């Protein structure tokens, strides 16, 4: 063969491969399914998803102890043919959490599953899986089997929603060109399980996720409405324990003792001035004393007292300021009463949960029809904390509130409750009477899948938008 002819043929082959690759990418860049299509697909999975959720509800597990939950999630992933890794979120702060009164386990109960072709764009969906040390009084026939523990924050619903989304995404795996990383995260309720998974590299593992989404069922919004806001949505939080030591003795001789109860009462009162007198009325601060323990007899002044509670702010600077003032007030007030005081803080304070403004406005554009109001409604920030905040610090993220409130949610017919039975699903989370409105699950399943597929479609062949545009808070938290 003539030399130039051979070169031409080789060039032609190379060109063909390139053409094929481009064509493949182009084929896969067809518009993803509409929210309506995914809503219908989710509807077809609902009986299964609700069943999963009720099973998770029966067996609630506290932070870093979610081994049964992990088994359930992984058995479902097996049945869907989805590969995953377990062992994420080791509890390396066991002792510090125990000192704060948390019953935590060894951890390693986090799960990571990638669906897709392993390439960019990669988008992360996160569900939390832990329960609370609350005795359930919901009256549900599938109430907690573990006395003193319950899914009073609805994380059973979050875990089930993400399994439903996994099923939808797996079915469409050949139709998108990118990767969805799904994570089931332990220890949201004060244990910073999200931070542990980030420290272990869940955001650095290839392909690195460029954006993250998470939802919380939200009794404070009507069922079907979706809310959120650009910027700070949830508060920065820390927990404090104050130990006051005096000198105990006979209650009849107060002059001979140093009374830690009077010192403690003065501290509790003085702490109120941080929010009431030192914070601008246009700003936000919470200092709540929630525990005060001292003494065990009528005629004995104890040697010590302990006080516990929480501080919250919508900014890291605000949290720093409150923390500094708590210290000053506690030490000086204790000293004024001749006592000594020491303070300890949470092993991991939570930063504010902040929605990336660019990504939030993108969500408003692509997901407006997911809400019954036909818009992602702007809601007020709350002073609750949320450890999705740690993801939002690292990559552009959006945390959405999925309205689940209905003061008279009719009991599902398959529960065989007396006709006309209703549940009030506007009861706040963390209440013994909390009931998750199961109608929220279909919206969560469809919206998880919708945001993932839309994100991949809109970011194919672009420089990963996220890490490019993200300006993490300059301030050290």
- By CB under 5 A, name the binding residues for Zn ion: 153
The CB-of-357 to Zn ion minimum distance in angstroms stands at 24
Q: Which residues contact 12 (CB under 8 A, 6 or more apart)?
A: none
Closer residue to Zn ion, CB minimum distance, 153 or 389: 153
The CB-of-132 to Zn ion minimum distance in angstroms stands at 7
Q: Please report, to the nearest 10 degrees, the dihedral formed by the alpha carbons of residues 42, 44, 48, 49 taken in order.
A: 20
Residue nearest to Zn ion (CB): 153
Place of tokens 């959120």: 228
Closer residue to Zn ion, CB minimum distance, 63 or 285: 63
| Gap between the Cα atoms of 211 and 399, Å rounded | 11
The CB-of-405 to Zn ion minimum distance in angstroms stands at 15
Closer residue to Zn ion, CB minimum distance, 165 or 429: 429
Closer residue to Zn ion, CB minimum distance, 128 or 406: 128
- Cis, peptide link before residue 312, omega less than 30° from 0: no
Closer residue to Zn ion, CB minimum distance, 153 or 239: 153
The CB-of-177 to Zn ion minimum distance in angstroms stands at 33
The CB-of-153 to Zn ion minimum distance in angstroms stands at 3
| Gap between the Cα atoms of 125 and 355, Å rounded | 14
Closer residue to Zn ion, CB minimum distance, 153 or 363: 153
SS3 letters for the chain?
Answer: CCHHHHHHHHHHHHHHHHHHHHHHHHHHCCCCCCHHHHHHHHHHHHHHHHHHHHHHHHCCCCCCCCHHHHHHHHHHHHHHCCCCEEEEEECCCHHHHHHCCCCCCCEEEEEEEEEECCCCCEEEEEEECCCECCCCCCCCCCCCCCCCCECCCCHHHHHHHHHHHHHHHHHCHHHCCCEEEEEEECCCCCCCHHHHHHHCCCCCCCCCCCEEEEEEEEEEEECCCEEECCEEEECEEEEEEEEEECECEECCCHHHCECHHHHHHHHHHHHHHHHHHCCCCCCCEEEEEEEEEECCCCCEECCEEEEEEEEEECCHHHHHHHHHHHHHHHHHHHHHCCCEEEEEECCCCECCEEECHHHHHHHHHHCHHHCCCCCEEECCCECCCCCCHHHHHHCCEEEEEEEEECCCEECCHHHCCCCCCEECCCCCCCCCCCCCCCCHHHHHHHHHHHHHHHHHHHHCCCCCHHHHHCCCCCCCC
Closer residue to Zn ion, CB minimum distance, 88 or 218: 218
Strand partners, 285: 313
Closer residue to Zn ion, CB minimum distance, 153 or 244: 153
The CB-of-184 to Zn ion minimum distance in angstroms stands at 14
Tokens encoding 61: 């597990």
The CB-of-292 to Zn ion minimum distance in angstroms stands at 23
The CB-of-237 to Zn ion minimum distance in angstroms stands at 11
Closer residue to Zn ion, CB minimum distance, 150 or 315: 150
The CB-of-402 to Zn ion minimum distance in angstroms stands at 12
The CB-of-155 to Zn ion minimum distance in angstroms stands at 6
The CB-of-310 to Zn ion minimum distance in angstroms stands at 13
Closer residue to Zn ion, CB minimum distance, 97 or 153: 153
């Amino acid at each position: 063969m003539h030399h130039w002819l051979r070169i031409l043929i080789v060039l032609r082959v190379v060109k063909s491969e390139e053409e094929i690759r481009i064509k493949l990418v182009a084929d896969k860049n067809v518009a993803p399914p509409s929210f309506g299509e995914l809503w219908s697909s989710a509807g077809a999975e609902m009986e299964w998803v609700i069943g999963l959720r009720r099973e998770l509800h029966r067996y609630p597990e506290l932070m870093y102890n979610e081994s049964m939950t992990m088994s359930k999630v992984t058995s479902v992933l097996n049945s869907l043919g989805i590969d995953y890794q377990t062992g994420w979120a080791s509890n390396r702060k066991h002792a510090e959490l125990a000192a704060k009164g948390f019953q935590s386990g060894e951890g390693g109960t986090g799960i990571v599953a990638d669906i897709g072709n392993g390439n960019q764009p990669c988008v992360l969906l996160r569900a939390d899986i832990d329960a609370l040390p609350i005795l359930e009084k919901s009256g549900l026939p599938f109430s907690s089997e573990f006395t003193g523990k319950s899914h009073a924050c609805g994380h059973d619903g979050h875990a089930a929603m993400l399994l439903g989304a996994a099923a939808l995404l797996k079915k469409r795996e050949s139709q998108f060109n990118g990767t969805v990383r799904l994570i089931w995260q332990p220890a949201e309720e004060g244990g910073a399980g999200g931070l542990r998974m980030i420290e272990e590299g869940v955001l650095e593992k290839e392909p690195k996720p460029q954006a993250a989404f998470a939802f919380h069922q939200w009794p404070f919004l009507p069922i079907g409405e979706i809310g959120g806001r650009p910027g700070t949505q949830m508060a920065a939080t820390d927990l404090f324990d104050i130990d006051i030591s005096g000198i105990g003795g006979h209650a009849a001789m107060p002059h001979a003792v140093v009374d830690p109860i009077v010192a403690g009462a003065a501290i509790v009162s003085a702490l109120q001035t941080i929010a009431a007198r030192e914070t601008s009325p246009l700003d936000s601060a919470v200092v709540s004393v929630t525990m005060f323990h001292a003494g065990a007899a009528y005629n004995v002044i104890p040697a010590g007292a302990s006080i516990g509670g929480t501080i919250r702010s919508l900014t890291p600077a605000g949290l720093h300021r409150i923390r500094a003032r708590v210290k000053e007030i506690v030490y000086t007030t204790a000293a004024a009463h001749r006592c000594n005081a020491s303070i300890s803080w949470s092993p991991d304070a939570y930063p504010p949960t902040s929605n990336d403004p660019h990504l939030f406005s993108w969500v408003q554009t692509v997901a407006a029809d997911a809400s019954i109001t036909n818009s992602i409604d702007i809601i007020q920030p709350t002073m609750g904390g949320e450890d999705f905040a740690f993801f939002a610090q690292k990559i552009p993220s959006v945390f959405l509130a999925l309205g689940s409130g209905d003061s008279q949610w009719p009991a599902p017919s398959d529960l065989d409750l007396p006709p006309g039975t209703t549940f009030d699903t506007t009861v706040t989370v963390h209440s013994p009477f909390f009931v998750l409105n199961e109608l929220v699950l279909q919206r969560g399943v469809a919206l998880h899948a919708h945001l993932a597929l839309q994100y991949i479609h809109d970011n194919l062949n672009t420089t990963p938008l996220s890490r490019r545009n993200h300006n993490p808070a300059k301030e050290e938290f």
